[in-house]
Amino acid sequence: MADASRPELGRYGIWQSQFELTPEIAQEIERAGFGTVWIGASPPGDLELVEQLIAATDALTVATGIVNMWATDAAEVAKSYQRVEERHPGRFLLGVGIGHPEATQEYRDPYRTIVEYLDVLDAAGVPVQHRSLAALGPKVLKLAAERTGVVHPYLVTPEYTRDARARLGADAVLAPEHKVVLETDPAKARALGRTRVAMPYLHLTNYITNLKRLGWSDADVAPDGSDALIDALVAHGDAEAVVRGITAHLDAGADHVSAQIVVEQGASIVPGIRALGAALPK
């Protein structure tokens, strides 16, 4: 099966929960100069939000980060992909992933499940270059590079990105996510960042294992993360400092990095989008 060219991600993107994204927010992201918006929090397989965000923008790439394999049948999401691609060719990257065992009663043989899911996408004509796979450990990193167009690690540090690049070689497209808090008071920034990191991620086996693989200790990951760990996982400061923090992934070998803007509950992410966009390298 011949692959179409990969949707253009740009160097910087915005990753946000599906519940924080609207067509108007997507327009703000595009105006601010970001190349991609990643839809998080396991968007449903109908991909209706994907289509709304694409339709509201001119050239912004829309990616899912991620459609959960346990929650959405591969044939269903493949059919939705074909609908979106027919209406908006080249604008969508289908990101899929296995999730984590604590959230899925049926979580069994995850590697085999990933392979079988990708096989269904192959059979349904979803091009390899138009899909990404969430990956953390070495085995799934390798699989992602072989079977998808983009490797998408979540909750990782630039040190992880450097190691992943060394493992994958130069050809794989590596696109990590990184959380950010636009706050110059370090104590306030850590407190806010910790609310998005500690629950649920520091209570999930996949993420704890990956952090320990990077050299973080039991004391760092329990109960809610040491200050040093939070600082490594959440870039904070003014917009220029935050952009330097996420650019560290690009310096470590990433092709694209997406910023997840963390704000107080009920607050808008629009000011953060605008501030980060103004601070992006021109």
Q: Span 214-228, mean pLDDT?
A: 96
What beta strand segments (E) does 87-171 contain?
92-97, 131-134, 150-152
Say how many domains are in the chain. 1
In this prediction the pTM is 0.96
pLDDT of residue 106: 59
pLDDT in tens, 89-133: 999 999 999 986 545 555 568 899 999 999 999 999 999 999 999
Q: In a 3-state reduction of DSSP, which class is residue 261?
A: strand
pLDDT of residue 2: 40
pLDDT in tens, 66-83: 999 999 999 999 999 999
Q: What is the CATH number of the domain that holds 64?
A: 3.20.20.30
pLDDT of residue 107: 53
Instruction: Tell me the CA distances in angstroms from 193 to 40, 208, 221, 260, one per residue in order.
Output: 17, 17, 14, 11
Burial (Cβ within 10 Å: 0-12, 13-18, ≥19) of residue 58: exposed
pLDDT in tens, 172-205: 999 999 999 999 999 999 999 999 999 999 999 9
Binning the chain into helix, strand and coil, the percentages to the nearest 5 are: 45, 15, 35
Q: Domain limits at 256?
A: 12-180+237-279
pLDDT of residue 1: 37
Q: Provide the percentage of residues in the chain whose pLDDT is more than 70.
A: 95
Is residue 1 one of the residues assigned to a domain? no
Q: Report residue 96: phi and psi, to 5°.
A: -125, 165
Is residue 27 one of the residues assigned to a domain? yes
Is residue 205 one of the residues assigned to a domain? no
**H or E element that contains 179:** strand 177-182
The CA distance from 81 to 84, in Å, is 5
Is residue 246 one of the residues assigned to a domain? yes
Is residue 223 one of the residues assigned to a domain? no
Is residue 192 one of the residues assigned to a domain? no
DSSP string covering 27-57 = HHHHHTT-SEEEEES---TT-HHHHHHHHTS
Is residue 143 one of the residues assigned to a domain? yes
Is residue 203 one of the residues assigned to a domain? no
